[in-house]
A and B are shown apart, each in its own frame.
Chain A
Amino acid sequence: MLEVSHAFLNFNGLQAINDVSIKVNDGTITAMIGPNGAGKTTLFNIIAGVYKPDSGVVTLDGVDITGKKPFEICNYGITRTYQVIKLFTGMSALDNVLVGMHINYKLNFFQDVFHTKKMRQLEKETKERAMELLRLVGLEDYAGVTASSLSYGQQRLLEIARALGSNPKLLLLDEPAAGMNLKEKNDLCDRLRIIKNMGITILIVEHDMSLVMNVAEEIFVINSGKNLAYGTPDEIANNKDVIEAYLGSGD
């Protein structure tokens, strides 16, 4: 489904991404791991349109999306969460999800602001859908609470609910488990599987190995901006290169 082939990106002399290719298969949970500074988030930002690669191609279902702006990427069916949480802090949890559904609104200004019948109908439907998504991540009781008042783990879950709002084909999760406790992490694994079963493909960047090994079906390992390994969790766990990259070589 998603394919990044031979991506290069240079930041003022620092070769952040140096020929990386990844392929995410339809309907899977794919993880991208690697030591700090390996370029995982940078690659994420290339896919999400924040950075334009110097060379290389990003395609989604065969459509070239290289260098599209973030707000266009959303229309192609890719949404994301952030490593550093970027919620709409002053809005309620429900409103956050509603903004995530923004591209579904096709109303003109006056229909919208003067709450015509058509708008109220659409509003009712979207609110029901938003509540479903909040239920999916277990935040339905917090619908009216301001996003900034939620706990750290809840904020991460809310980011996922918001990202699901626009009915994406591909969900990009940037360290969704950071700052979560063990129970929350286990819940997250279950929820990710539910999302997968809804037919949404997931690409996840995560430092927490137990979570990755638990939930991912395929894993890409990246080191110093290069592909290091690719395989199933078991293959990766026994891969000599990967162990070396994480723990250093024996000599």
Chain B
Amino acid sequence: MKKIFKNKKIRNIIIMVVTIALLMVTPVIFTSFRSGNYYLNVINYVFVYAIAATGLNIMTGYSGQINLGGAAYFSVGAYGTVILCNLGIPTIFAVLLAMLIVAFFGFLTAVPAAKLKYHFLALATMAVGEIVNNILIVSPGGITNDTHGMFVKALDLFGLKLSKDSQLYYFLLISMVLCLLFTFAFIKSHTGRACIAARDSVDAAGAFGVDVKKYKIIATVVSCIMIGFAGFLFAYLNRYISPDTFAAGKSTMFMSMTMLGGSGTLFGPLLGTILITIIMEVLRGLPGAGLYLQLSYGLVLLAVMMFMPFGVSGLISNIKTKRIIKKKRMEEMEKNNVGS
């Protein structure tokens, strides 16, 4: 038994199989006891927010452009799909069309964003968030039903209706895994590497033929599409959308999830989402919940920025790198000692 666990390949396979099995039976376990549905509901929200945070991470983490207006793309994805569905378009086409709209919208913001830096970019993206939220409230032509919001029908996938949390669970889980896989493929591609290079040194990236502006725009558009996709999932999980659900607080929440977990790392945003959700759910139960909720946000963000600017994942990978370096240096020292 010990030998099996020493073999890395076999160990990884075992871990993977166990994880998949656990993820598959989760809804069965949680629906078997009374308050289980509540937890399942929370887990579903984690999937949705994790997708949004992972998407945001492509822009902020991998291409180095802060975005404090994430909720804008989230809401365009949500409202876009719901409105198109209400027009009688099949869900799958409605989603694709809505993603095209989000992409176009992302492109509109990406072009000026690629020229801005630091707090100017932060303010500009924040403004985008506010503008979109105001459009939802004003509701031109009544399409967003202003502050009353819209109720959303159950998700209809090729005639398969997903309304219960236990049904949505698998769909959301698969969506999140696919989004993580896509992000992995993206950062391991030449395009992804060029984006990261442009983040780390604009000058050097330019000197090696990387068109910095182009890659920043690509990262932003990809990021917005993923956030928009999360918006669509949110609409069908929440079953109700209103301008209130997409206020500036959502943008900050996505940002803090990304930062806490570790921006610029693959699993950071997921980790951050889980942590923030746990913090929120625990605090929600305390008296005066509203006050503590906001206060804890501020404190968590402050602490992260001060003590671990690269988040939890950054901290872990930092320790790993240091270990490799230390090992290398020790080896070299030994080599030198033998030589002399």
Contact = CB atoms under 8 A, between A and B. Distances in A.
A100 B208 contact: yes
Contacts of A73: 207
A102 B208 contact: yes
Interface string A125-159: 00000000000000001101110010000000000
A76 B328 CA distance: 38
Nearest to B264: A90
B200 A79 contact: no
What class of interface size applies to chain A in its complex with B? Answer: 35 or more
B200 A90 contact: yes
B324 A103 contact: no
Given A87-B201, A90-B196, A144-B324, A79 B190 contact: no
B193 interface: yes
A11 interface: no
B322 A79 contact: no
B311 to A, nearest CB: 13
A88 B196 contact: yes
Interface in B239-298: 264
Contacts of B204: 82, 86-88
B203 A112 contact: no
Counting chain A CB atoms within 10 Å of each CB, which of B182, B192, B205, B264 scores highest?
B205
A165 interface: yes
A218 B61 CA distance: 46
A237 interface: no
Contacts of B199: 90
B189 A88 contact: no
A74 B207 contact: yes
B296 to A, nearest CB: 29
A137 to B, nearest CB: 16
A99 B207 contact: no
Contact of A114 (B185, B192, B317, B322): B185
B322 A99 contact: no
Given A70-B206, A74-B209, A99-B210, A112 B196 contact: no
A166 B200 contact: no
A247 interface: no
B325 A145 contact: yes
A99 B205 contact: yes
B218 interface: yes
Given A86-B201, A149-B321, A165 B185 contact: no
A108 B328 CA distance: 39
A14 interface: no
A2 B158 CA distance: 65
A114 B193 CA distance: 14
Contacts of A105: 190
Nearest to A73: B207
Interface string B204-226: 11111111000000100000000
Interface string A149-176: 1000000000000100110000000000
B170 interface: no
Counting chain B CB atoms within 10 Å of each CB, which of A91, A99, A149, A162 scores highest?
A99
A75 interface: yes
A112 B189 contact: yes
B191 A109 contact: yes
A98 interface: yes
Given A87-B200, A90-B196, A112 B191 contact: yes
A203 B157 CA distance: 63
A75 B209 contact: yes
Counting chain A CB atoms within 10 Å of each CB, which of B193, B218, B264 scores highest?
B193
B218 A109 contact: yes
A113 B264 CA distance: 17
Nearest to B64: A90
Interface of B: 182, 185-186, 188-194, 196-197, 199-201, 203-211, 218, 264, 317, 321-322, 324-325, 328
21 contacts: A69-B206, A70-B207, A71-B207, A73-B207, A75-B209, A86-B203, A88-B196, A89-B201, A90-B264, A91-B200, A99-B208, A102-B208, A103-B208, A112-B191, A113-B186, A141-B328, A144-B324, A145-B325, A145-B328, A165-B208, A166-B208
Interface of A: 48, 50, 69-71, 73-75, 79-80, 82, 86-91, 95, 98-100, 102-103, 105, 107, 109, 112-115, 119, 123, 141-142, 144-146, 149, 162, 165-166
What are the 6 tightest A-B residue pairs by CB atom distance, in nearest-first order?
A88-B200, A103-B209, A86-B204, A74-B209, A99-B197, A86-B201
Given A70-B203, A71-B206, 12 more contacts: A48-B207, A71-B210, A86-B203, A91-B197, A98-B190, A102-B208, A102-B210, A109-B191, A113-B191, A146-B317, A165-B208, A166-B209
